[in-house]
Structure 1
Amino acid sequence: MKALKTLLAATLLLAGTAACGGTGAASTGDGGAKTVTVYTADGLADGYKTRFDAFTQQTGIKVQTVEAGSGEVVSRLQKEKSNPQADVVVTLPPFIQKASQDGLLQKYDVPGSDHVQGVKGDDYVAVVDNYLCFIANQKAGTPKTFDDLLDPKFKGKLQYSTPGQAGDGTAVLLLLQHLLGKQGALDYLKKLETNNVGPSASTGKLQPKVSKGELLVANGDVQMNAASIANDKSAFSIFFPAAADGKRTTVALPYVMGLGAGAPNVDGGKQLMAYLLSVDAQKTVSENAFGLPARDDVKPADANFLAVQKSTQGVEVWQPDWSAVLSELDADVAAYTKAVG
């Protein structure tokens, strides 16, 4: 499988929730063996509701969720290492690799994982495929290139989630490193800081600000932003800024799940993970949540699936080496923080 591959179309008017926001909210459940607790990066709330209801009907096991930013999910696991609370963990790379490295996950060969060609390891596997993107308020038009984002008209009207804290924000830094080199990425982001509102640990919280016009441009991801457009009638469009050579590139940024180390309900967690990666559940990923199935043997044909494919037409998808990314992440984030002051 090639590291770079070309997908299908340009702007998107679709539906969902944020992949990297931080709500810290938990739903309620009965506890014990009849409840599974999921710590998750937000973005899949609509899809979760439908799938979790179906899972409960089939098994009698309720599901409660705790939503947070991608990095915040792992930080919470680390704080609770001596008293684990999570049965299942869902977050973005490289944070899922961080959780694995720190012993916060346990090995589980999820049925169907042999059909996942994307991100997976001994203790984690992709469950929903997704891609980095940017969003623009309708009043801003659609910026064509990364250099367009340096325009003074975006001063105080542009914001991106913070690398090292949010999965989507980390992906922005990685994409610019891929396109410009590490120093080139830092030089660009230092220039962009003139327009940037400031840090944000939550990508999801940027969506309503762009829709209302408080911001004109922000980063996001296709699944989250497509769902927001369709479900919340958000007034923004999705775009992929081009580099100086005119090519548009994005980062593959799937939701990845793992079984929590010391999971209080390990059997229930395994059942839920097997269900989420089952053919029946994977067939509904696009219809319910505007994501793409992680399994290569599931080929939906619903309108949402086709629209997501169309939105990325002509955009190259870069598949990072996430283990290499993780090994350099602390140094890269430190260099980024120093560059933007």
Structure 2
Amino acid sequence: MKKSLFVFAVAVLALALTAPVFAQSGVLSVLCTPQELWCQGMEEAFEAKYPEIDVQWIRLSSGEGLARVQAEAGNPSFDIWWGGPMDSFIAAKDQGGLLEQYESPNLKNINPDFYDLFVDKDHYYTGIYMGSLAFMTNTDWLAENPGVEAPKSFEDLLKPEYKGQIVISHPSTAGTAYTFLSTVLQVMGEEKGWEYLKKFNDQVAMYTKSGSGAGKYVASGEFGVGVMFSHDMVKEIEDNGAPMTISFPSEGTGYEVGAEAILKGAKNLENAKLWYDWAITPEAQALGPVFQSYQAPTVSGVELSHPELLDVKLINYDFTWSGAHKQEFQDKFANEIQNAEMDESGVMKK
């Protein structure tokens, strides 16, 4: 009898994780971390598919998003969190009680070669895009400084010619900068990595709140070099005509897997499941380049808009380790290296 009850309980749990989604009306509140144009485009495409659902979204950087999710534990103002590096989602999962467990029927769409990377084994989050970390250099600035070349390694960023010319986001607010920090620690080891980050901080002119925020300062020529995800650089070059060149660290570069998760206590749970399912379809992931977002998709059946951005030397980036230490490393950077203060424009002054 007890065995029968156990089997029944397991069957009920499996059904709850994969049950079909029925709600197609009402409201859906989205915490959106990618750029606003993509957030807006996703809203419009989803509402076109489900016209009875009113999507309401707010754009927050990954650091802000995680802090908001943590502060609202058990009573979230958002239903689903879409976008931003996976280590923030790992940190949320590890804290417990923040994310809803959900096994989407559309996981069958995930690229089988990277399934274990893109899909959380406990089904708290799923990868929705991928992008590599890179350096961008203003070509006009290079022309004005004969003999200076675009950086090709992490060590190059410490050269005298780059002092006061580097812009990057802050790891306390942006997943881009945290990916940079974690990449350095994984490439160099923690002791040498933290020593490097202290030297690197002396080279930085300013920190921005969002990961892509550095782009406009390098594009305008205000500063020479920026550290960002390569797909954000492509946007500046192709869509804004910025005079920039992209280079990658020879030691190997880190990368992000942007993820999505339903928040525990979501007030519009069935609508959140609809978005979650839709976001891992070829239909939805083909929309990125339409809205000037050039990340690689995580599902099969979508052509890469810029395959060269992943045809680089990638490190064996440890998302689990990075996510587990995120708060610790953010605090260490702020307390021991740079506790930048943000002004009204979103620039974090040193």
How many residues end up aligned between the 2 structures?
Answer: 297
CA contact (8 A) 2:119 2:127 kept: yes
Unpaired runs of at least 5, structure 1: 1-31, 244-248
Q: Call closer, same or farther: CA 1:312–1:214 in 2, change over 3 Å.
A: same
Q: Distance in 2 between matches of 1:270 and 1:42?
A: 19
Q: Identify which range, 324-333 or 219-228, moves more after superposition.
A: 324-333
Deviations 1:103-147 (A, max 9, x none): 221011123224432332211000112222221112235222222
Match of 1:206 in 2: 214
Partner SS for 2:102: coil
Match of 2:254 in 1: 251
Q: Call closer, same or farther: CA 1:146–1:274 in 2, change over 3 Å.
A: same
Amino acid at match of 1:321: D
Residue 137 in 1 paired to residue 138 in 2? yes
CA contact (8 A) 1:106 1:259 kept: yes
Residue 293 in 1 paired to residue 297 in 2? yes
Match of 2:118 in 1: 119
Q: Call closer, same or farther: CA 1:64–1:333 in 2, change over 3 Å.
A: same
Q: Distance in 2 between matches of 1:298 and 1:99?
A: 30
Match of 1:106 in 2: 100
Deviations 1:131-176 (A, max 9, x none): 2222111223522222221222222211222224321111111211
Of residues 50, 72, 84 in structure 2, which corresponds to 1:59?
50
Structure with greater helix share of residues: 2
Q: Distance in 2 between matches of 1:221 and 1:236?
A: 14
Partner SS for 2:29: strand
1:244-323 to structure 2, matched below 5 A, reads: 249-288=252-291, 289-295=293-299, 297-300=300-303, 305-306=304-305, 308-313=306-311, 315-323=312-320
Structure 1 moving runs of 4+ over 4 Å: none
Q: Call closer, same or farther: CA 1:56–1:330 in 2, change over 3 Å.
A: closer
Query: Rg: which structure is higher?
Result: 2
Match of 2:195 in 1: 187
Q: Distance in 2 between matches of 1:331 and 1:83?
A: 25
Q: Call closer, same or farther: CA 1:330–1:74 in 2, change over 3 Å.
A: closer
CA contact (8 A) 2:94 2:324 kept: no
Amino acid at match of 2:118: V
Q: Distance in 2 between matches of 1:155 and 1:199?
A: 14
Identity %, equivalent residues: 21
CA contact (8 A) 1:163 1:333 kept: yes
Unpaired runs of at least 5, structure 2: 1-23, 143-148, 339-350
Alpha-carbon offset, residue 198 of structure 1: 4.1
Match of 2:90 in 1: 97
Scaled by the length of structure 2, the TM-score of the pair is 0.77
Residue 39 in 1 paired to residue 31 in 2? yes
CA contact (8 A) 2:32 2:39 kept: no
Alpha-carbon offset, residue 258 of structure 1: 0.4
